[in-house]
Structure 1
Amino acid sequence: MSRLDTATRLAVLGSPISHSKSPELHLAAYEVLGLPWAYERVEIDDQALAPFIESRDASWRGLSLTMPLKQTIQPLLDQVDRIGSLTGAVNTVLFEWGGDAVHRSGFNTDVPGIVRALNAVGVETVRHVHVLGGGATAASAIVAAGELGAESVQVSVRTPQRAESLRPLAAAVGLTFSIGAFDEPHADEPTDLVVSTLPGGAEVPITFDAALRAHAPLLDVAYEPWPTQLGAAWADAGGTVLGGLAMLVHQALLQVRIFAGGDPFAPLADEASVLAAMLAAVGLGADGRPRDGH
């Protein structure tokens, strides 16, 4: 038998998925924890999701989800945590087995992952946040802005009408909300944090002046390829740049808490060592930024 035939099994699902660094992160964590678990990548689209979920057996402990599955998984779950329900986005599924029956719980670890990644570079509070993009990760960025104490969030998208669903979400977390197209002027909008949820390699249809780039930190959730066009522009202005790998590490740490202990709020045994191993697995330092040579 292969290792995958006998081990507790986990996987990250999405399409495309070959670029995902989740296996490196999770396997580094389970090595520190002494858990001989298997974690793989599986290419799955919306149409294939339900058959895949329904066909899992008791060897499966859980799943990580990336696009385009974060918003389509919920009807297949028995329970969803508060942040998942609020954002409409679930990136983690826990299987709890009782004989042949299974209870499937969904979680959103993207929101605390964003908060923890920003905390690691010294961003503890913000007032005005500018989010690029209007999908599931943008929803998580809005909730994260609320948790960082923000007062307002501005969203830029190609087609503003398609992102109007984010307006009640912003209201639910106490934020004033504005939305506009990428080509609309933004010079008069106060900003002290920019979060880009645009796909890696995408052309950035908006320009930020050098003074803003030097002042306001950037979290660009993309990490392949890196640096992104936006990340390079921020670095050129001497600004604080945080890539998507940092968010990925911190949200994955919370996934490990869920898979190992069933609770995203319960720290792992020797969690500092687990986090250090996960950061090292993708070439990041303690602050979530690339180490020399990476």
Structure 2
Amino acid sequence: MKKLFILLTISLLLNLPVTAHPGTGIVKNSKGEIFYSDLARVWKVSPNGKTKTIVVPDVHTHELHVDKYDNLYGEHLWYEGEASDKWKHFVWKYDANGKYTKEIPNSDGFLNNYSFNRDSAGNMYWIERGKTESLFMKKAKNNVVEVMQTIKTTDVRWQFCRKDGIFYYIDDNDLFQIKNKKVELLIENIDHKKISAIRPNHSVYGIWDDKIGNLYVALLEKREIRKVTPNRKVTTIYKSPVSWSPTGGLIDENGNLWVLENNAANQVRVVLINSKTLLNK
């Protein structure tokens, strides 16, 4: 994931005069509590959406993961400045009892051989990006790192792993699936727009699923969330209000949609949408 994080964070951490690349980090634990990142801290939201508190302050993380034991994981990535010209990172854990520890201590460079895309057994999966070919990687619970296969790619972006190990990724604007080491194009040009004011590969963001096998994709520039059914039917189920755009989300046990949204001022919020009000549900 190293090359991806370089591109995602450089404009923010160098304070360039452009909109920062938002994160996709929003997850839910077994109690129905929602956790999300605003790139400066991690918040916990009550199951009814009415209260929220900061649980992990002062961390810059684009992604989050919660395991089957309700332990929450994320990263902190920072640039020390031009004097040293060094990037550093660590990986943190916020456990089910509220204890904060570092899984990976302060380290030079970018996070490597590690991912927040995991199956129910805790195996990690990611794609190491190349110019025309990329490596589909797996890190098992015993810390053995394996190259699963080499795949042809154009510009790999956000990735997602289901609990059963089926892996999804965005390459340019196309949605791909890897199942039993077989790479398959699911939806071509899911954003329906190859020419973009912010480049096509920056328009498609977070991917997630629900308990009945539907996939969901956040489209930043379209300000939409699209659902992909198992038979590959694509519908728009949510449209963000003017000035806001979705970057991630999740579906809870009642079918309600939790949307992570970002605006041009780099403000971040989470919105709870009742299942009955979803478009084309």
Q: Given the two structures, how large is their TM-score scaled by the length of structure 2? A: 0.31
Structure whose residues are more often strand by fraction = 2
Q: Given the two structures, how large is their TM-score scaled by the length of structure 1? A: 0.30
Larger radius of gyration: 1
* Greater RCO (Cα-Cα under 8 Å, separation 6 or more): 1
Structure whose residues are more often helix by fraction = 1
